[in-house]
Chain A
Amino acid sequence: MAGAGRGWRGALGQRAVSVFVSVGSMMPFDRLVRAMDEWAAAHPEVPVLIQIGRGAYEPRHARFVRLMPVSDYRAAVDGARLFVAHAGMGSIISAIEAGKPLLMLARSQALGEHNTEHQRATAASIGARPGLHVAADADDLKARASALLADSGAPPAPISPHADKSFTDRIRAFIEAP
């Protein structure tokens, strides 16, 4: 499925990926893909890889893949200098777990990019953490990508791979209840 002959391994073989972009695995998000492809066109010296999912727009300047296995996805997040993504929890938690700066653009329900407006709420409620950055629109995204690549600031604080013990203990009690 990953753009025939343009797999990300090939892209990595030539040069390291500096900016990894992901729209998540569930729905297309062409506004983000197009913006970062335009950004890649303006910065030909920066290797950009985009996981475009089911999007209709295929990047002409950045390398792209449709959907990579989760282990490759994590390697791409780990290897990138900057991670750019939709405001989805998979992207957010992956960035935090990897200690990688994350630049987000929230999907808009009004533009048909998601079922509800919850990504704006997610960006507002979780995006305030250190190392996480929220763009207002496509132009703001491109400006922030340039600024963050020059100075990414503090990365997200490292966290445990698991939720707080108090939470998992409550679930354990639920499981063990007669």
Chain B
Amino acid sequence: MKRVLAMASGGGHFVQLLRLRPAWAGQQVSYATVHAASAVDVAPAPLFTFRDVSRADWWRLPLTALDIAIILLRVRPQIVITTGALPGLVALALARPFGVRTLWVDSIANSEVLSGSGRLARKLATEVVTQWPALAEDGVAHWGSVL
């Protein structure tokens, strides 16, 4: 059994994460997202929250990074899995120096090009996967999609 942190921003990112749940059934999983009310979706697994950030309000990045650093210290995950968005990239960056295995699942919304965060994740994550076969390339695999 491994300690897994499954994390995503709110809205569609978190909805996609939930559709991947069988992947970590039986592991010691913790979740992280931006709305505390999402706890009803993952109970009895613990849900941590962090302050959101996006390209539009990038100056909030230090707040998000602080929250995610604390979550990583509390969970001490061996695996981090994220469906984005920018906060997921923050988690990959913070976890990387500690030898954590990380997986970036690019949102199914990105059907024509990999997301900006996904492109950066190629440098940070152990694996980057796209949900669209046509977007697979060197360093970006296609394993399937949430729909």
The answer to whether A171 touches B145 (Cβ under 8 A) is no
Nearest-neighbour CB distance to chain A for B11, whole angstroms, equals 4
Can you list 28 contacts pairing A with B, beta carbon distance less than 8 Å? Answer: A25-B35, A26-B54, A27-B56, A69-B35, A70-B35, A70-B37, A71-B37, A88-B11, A89-B13, A89-B109, A90-B10, A93-B15, A116-B116, A118-B109, A118-B115, A122-B109, A126-B108, A126-B111, A126-B147, A159-B147, A161-B18, A167-B23, A167-B143, A170-B144, A171-B105, A174-B79, A174-B126, A175-B27
Given the complex of chains A and B, what is the CA–CA distance between A175 and B111 in angstroms?
Answer: 26
Any A CB within 8 A of the CB of B107? yes
B146 x A163 contact (CB < 8 A): yes
Q: How far is the CA of A171 from the CA of B24 in the complex (A)?
A: 8
- Using CB atoms and an 8 Å cutoff, list the residues of chain A in contact with chain B: 24-27, 69-71, 88-94, 96, 115-116, 118-119, 121-122, 124-126, 159, 161-172, 174-177
Report A26 CB to chain B, min CB distance, Å.
Answer: 5
Residues of A within 8 A of B22 (CB): 162-163, 165, 168, 172
Across the interface, which residues of A come within 8 angstroms of B110, CB to CB? 118, 121
Contact residues in B for A26 (Cβ distance below 8 Å)? 9-11, 52, 54
Given A121-B112, A163-B20, A167-B144: A89 touches B15 (CB 8 Å cut-off)? yes
Which residues of B does A touch, CB under 8 Å?
Answer: 2, 4, 9-16, 18-24, 27, 35, 37-38, 40-41, 52, 54-56, 79, 81, 101, 103, 105, 107-112, 115-116, 126-127, 132, 143-147
In the bound complex, residues from chain B placing their C-beta under 8 Å from that of A124 are 111
Inter-chain contact A96/B56, CB cutoff 8 Å: no
Given A174-B101, A175-B2, answer yes or no on A168-B112 (Cβ-Cβ < 8 Å).
Answer: no
A167 to B132, CA, bound (A): 12
- Select which of A70, A126, A161, A168 is within 8 A of B40 by beta carbon: A70
CB distance from B24 to the nearest CB of A (A): 6
Q: Are B81 and A163 in contact (CB under 8 A)?
A: no
Query: Which of the residues B14, B54, B145 comes within 8 Å of A163, measured between beta carbons?
Result: B145
In the complex the two chains form, what is the Cα distance from A70 to B40 in whole Å? 8
State A140–B72 Cα separation when bound (angstroms): 47
Which chain A residue has the least Cβ–Cβ distance from B110? A118
CB distance from B61 to the nearest CB of A (A): 15
B20 touches A162 (CB 8 A): yes
Closest to B126 in A: A174
- Min CB distance A122 to B, Å, is 5
Q: Which of A124, A161, A163, A170 has the most CB of B within 10 A?
A: A163
Complex CA gap A70/B22 in Å reads: 21
**10 nearest A-B pairs in the assembled complex, by CB-CB distance:** A167-B144, A89-B12, A69-B37, A171-B23, A90-B12, A90-B11, A168-B23, A125-B111, A170-B143, A168-B22
Per the bound structure, the CA–CA distance linking A154 and B21 in Å amounts to: 29
